[in-house]
Chain A
Amino acid sequence: EVQLVESGGGLVQPGGSLRLSCAASGFTFNSFWMNWVRQAPGKGLEWLAIIKQDGSEKLYVDSVKGRFTISRDNAKNSLYLQLNSLRVEDTAVYYCVGGAGWFLHYWGQGTLVTVSS
């Protein structure tokens, strides 16, 4: 069974940093592109970033470019998102999502990031 389990969310002040992690199991992690998608409370879905199987290619939405960094460790079957210079509007549930190609097949349950003073 495919499992994606996010962790690392919490309350942080504006301007602060967090590192989100996603532990993957039940599939060949190093065969999948991996993504982060977020959802602000009561709002829709926003794709944030994608990383290629070997980590050689990374793409970001403009709103997080330069502030967030996606990375992966295939030896640990793990995906990461480093969040810097956090803003109130970054408050959201952050989902780890994997798939063949750019398909968003498998979703974790999400981890909540709250940015507030």
Chain B
Amino acid sequence: DIVMTQSPDSLAVSLGERATINCKSSQSVLSDSKTDNYLAWFQQKPGQPPKLLIYSTSIRESGVPDRFSGSGSGTDFTLTISNLQAEDVAVYYCQQHYASPLTFGGGTRVEIK
């Protein structure tokens, strides 16, 4: 199974500043065609189901603000939230959609400093 490791477990960022979340996979999630890294990011607010933010490393889901961006390749990936807003307080999960079983990172809690 591909193990997904997120860091940090939590972080506090001032409004308007940048939050950076890291995710490392235990093996490459690069597609066989070598064109996509199958890594997604989700946002989960209290009492709500997760919401897909980004898939294939950097493609934003429809309606997701452009202050959310994803990057990375191979085994190392990053979610960046630029200009943090109050509504961005949530737990963020990375997930590989390359191989079964699909696996998630342990989550990163983002709070306002």
Tell me the A residues contacting B by CB distance below 8 Å.
Answer: 35, 44-47, 50, 59-62, 95, 99, 101-105, 107-110
| Contact present for A108 and B52 (CB under 8 Å) | no
Say whether, besides A44-B104, A45-B93, A59-B100, A103 and B49 are in contact (CB < 8 Å). no
| Contact present for A104 and B107 (CB under 8 Å) | no
A102 and B101 alpha carbons, distance in the complex (Å): 11
Cβ–Cβ < 8 Å partners of A44 in chain B: 93, 104-107
Say whether, besides A44-B106, A44-B107, A104 and B40 are in contact (CB < 8 Å). yes
Tell me the B residues contacting A by CB distance below 8 Å.
Answer: 1, 38, 40, 42, 44, 49-52, 55, 61, 93, 95, 97, 100-107
| Contact present for B102 and A102 (CB under 8 Å) | yes
* 15 residue pairs bridging A and B, Cβ less than 8 Å apart: A44-B104, A44-B106, A44-B107, A45-B50, A45-B95, A46-B104, A50-B100, A59-B101, A104-B42, A104-B50, A105-B52, A105-B55, A105-B61, A107-B51, A107-B52
Cβ–Cβ < 8 Å partners of B40 in chain A: 103-104
Cβ–Cβ < 8 Å partners of A99 in chain B: 52
A67 and B79 alpha carbons, distance in the complex (Å): 36
Cβ–Cβ < 8 Å partners of A47 in chain B: 95, 101-104
Cβ–Cβ < 8 Å partners of A50 in chain B: 100, 102
Cβ–Cβ < 8 Å partners of B95 in chain A: 45, 47, 104
Cβ–Cβ < 8 Å partners of B61 in chain A: 105
Of listed B1, B97, B106, residue having the most chain A CB within 10 A: B97
